[in-house]
Structure 1
Amino acid sequence: MAIILVVEDEIFIRQAAEWAIEDLGHRPLMAEDLAGALAHLSAPGGIDMLFVDIRLGALPLGGYDIANQALQLRPGLRVLYTSGSPLTADMSEQFVGGGQFLQKPYSPEQLEASVGKLLQ
């Protein structure tokens, strides 16, 4: 069982990700913004992976800002990025922490494969 921090600003997508991660046998931690993510990242206890939406409205670089700060607090953290936009070279150049990408909408099977690949 892995502990996966999900950062997603859209509540319905966040809830769907939470349920899908639980169905995979992992433990999700949920945050809707940078402050929530930093609270989890600063707390004691392990976090194995960050699953972050690239396009978070309140931040200049969205999920990239969160991923960069997360890796400063927890070096070695694996990062799975998601977005409703197709992956571009500009997007992938900013990936850190293993930098896998999962395009929305994704199926539970696609999420399982992406999580499994990152956690290997």
Structure 2
Amino acid sequence: MAVILIVEDDVFTREIAELMIQDWGHHTLSASDVDEALTLLRSPQTIDALFTDIYLKTAVLGGCELANQAIKLRPKLRVLYTTGNCITDKMKALFAEGTHFLPKPYTQHQLQDSVEDLLAA
């Protein structure tokens, strides 16, 4: 059982991801933007993995910036990125080392496989 921080600015998408991940026995924390996520990451709360949208309304490349800051705060944190937008090579260069990517839209099975792969890494 892991604690996964979900950062997604779309409420519906965030809630669906939370429900699916909780159904597999994991605990979830959620944030709608980079600031909320960083507040949780700076807290003593256990967080095993970060599942973040790359494009957050409050920041260009918010998910990439967030992941890089999160790994500085928690070096062993595992990161799973998601987006429904095109990913360029320049964008991939911003990904934190050792991260994973799941394109939107994703199915419950795809999310579960990605989360399991992430936690096993």
Q: CA deviation at 1:97?
A: 4.7
> What is the alpha-carbon distance in structure 1 between the residues aligned to residue 90 and residue 20 of structure 2?
29
What amino acid maps onto 2:28 in structure 1? P
Q: Is contact 1:77–1:97 with CA below 8 Å preserved after alignment? A: no
What amino acid maps onto 1:49 in structure 2? A
Partner of 1:5: 5
What amino acid maps onto 1:71 in structure 2? I
Partner of 2:41: 41
Equivalent residue runs for 1:105-116 within 5 Å: 105-116=105-116
Q: Provide the secondary structure at the position in 2 that maps to 1:81.
A: strand
Give the root-mean-square deviation of aligned CA atoms. Answer: 1.2
What amino acid maps onto 1:78 in structure 2? R
> What is the alpha-carbon distance in structure 2 between the residues aligned to residue 38 and residue 97 of structure 1?
19
Identical aligned residues as a percent:
51
* Structure 1 spans left out of the alignment, 5+ residues: none
Which is further off, 34-43 or 92-101? Answer: 92-101
Which aligned runs of 4 or more in structure 1 are off by greater than 4 angstroms?
none
CA distance 1:29–1:97, shift in 2 (3 Å): farther
What amino acid maps onto 2:12 in structure 1? F
> What is the alpha-carbon distance in structure 2 between the residues aligned to residue 3 and residue 42 of structure 1?
15
Q: Normalization by structure 1: what TM-score? A: 0.93
> What is the alpha-carbon distance in structure 1 between the residues aligned to residue 97 and residue 115 of structure 2?
13
Partner of 2:61: 61
* Structure 2 spans left out of the alignment, 5+ residues: none
> What is the alpha-carbon distance in structure 2 between the residues aligned to residue 37 and residue 97 of structure 1?
19
Q: Provide the secondary structure at the position in 2 that maps to 1:4.
A: strand
The count of corresponding residues between Structure 1 and Structure 2 is: 120
Equivalent residue runs for 1:1-120 within 5 Å: 1-120=1-120
Q: Normalization by structure 2: what TM-score? A: 0.93
> What is the alpha-carbon distance in structure 2 between the residues aligned to residue 68 and residue 53 of structure 1?
13
Q: Is contact 1:87–1:101 with CA below 8 Å preserved after alignment? A: no
Q: CA deviation at 1:61?
A: 2.2
